[in-house]
A = this chain, B = another copy of it.
Amino acid sequence: MIETSHAIALLRVTGLARNLKPNELAAVADAAQLREVDTGAFFFEQGSAADEVFVLNRGRLKLSETTPQRHRVLLQFVGPGELFGATPFAEDQVHPVSAQTVRWCQAFVWSGKTMHELMISFPQIPINLLYAQSRRMRELQHCYRELATEPVGRRVAHALMRLATEAGWKTEAGLLIDMPLSHQDLAEMTGTTLYTVCRVLRAWKRHGLVDIGRQRVTILHAQGLSAIADDPGSRTEWPVCDAARN
């Protein structure tokens, strides 16, 4: 009942509730709670018990995994309409990742039990979830392949391009990535260090490809970046030190 028509409209286009009839959609929405979390706080933390499914309504958050040695890996940014924390669908009910917000967030929440009942009642739901997972799986496979085979520069360029599609904001200067994004974040996204990210970005700035500020990146020349990210031919190599040291 608390859900506004706007929120329901979002749910409709979301992976979870696509192709549901209006009354089914209402049932799904009615079964949800809304939960709000402040900037920098967590929806859940790695290792904690997992018995809820989330769909983000407003805001943005990051899913990351921390190793025992305090290394961190940033697996995914989640934006409005996206599903996250769908771990009740695994045997051990423990969150493998942490979900930390990047700004104020609001999300739909279903308990594992509720969601299971909904899935039994509306077979379209597990099918939708399956599609969403498959898409995510492909993305992850792509990142894995990239990490295994591509040099850093490419990986960072590609990460920036993805962020731009997810959260790009057209300004007069260029395409601003509209969220706080530190070099550390980029490093954790691309399996490198903040030092290397800094050198890469600095070199690109010198060449007029991007503009950088504190936790802020603007893409000035998207085509150029794409070329670095994807172009399989010509300048396949643009190593970090060459770029940084001249």
Chain A residues in the interface with B (C-beta under 8 A): 65, 67-69, 71, 73, 75, 86-87, 89-91, 96-97, 119-120, 123, 126-127, 129-131, 133-138, 140-141, 143-145, 147-149, 191, 232, 236
Contacts and interface: CB of A to CB of B under 8 A. Distances in A.
28 contacts: A65-B141, A67-B145, A69-B149, A69-B232, A71-B148, A71-B149, A73-B145, A73-B148, A75-B144, A87-B134, A89-B131, A91-B131, A91-B135, A120-B123, A123-B126, A126-B126, A126-B127, A126-B129, A126-B130, A130-B130, A130-B133, A136-B137, A137-B140, A140-B141, A144-B144, A144-B147, A147-B147, A147-B148
Contacts of A143: 144
A26 B198 CA distance: 59
Contact of A236 (B69, B120, B134, B141): B69
Contacts of A119: 123, 127
A148 B191 contact: yes
Question: Per DSSP, are chain A's interface residues mostly helix, strand or loop, or mixed?
Answer: helix
Contact of A137 (B120, B131, B133): B133
A112 to B, nearest CB: 12
B138 A140 contact: no
B129 A130 contact: yes
A197 B126 CA distance: 41
B191 A147 contact: yes
Contacts of A131: 89-91
A146 B140 CA distance: 14
A119 B90 CA distance: 20
Nearest to A190: B148
10 A-B pairs with least C-beta separation: A148-B191, A126-B126, A123-B123, A71-B149, A68-B232, A89-B134, A90-B134, A73-B145, A133-B133, A126-B127
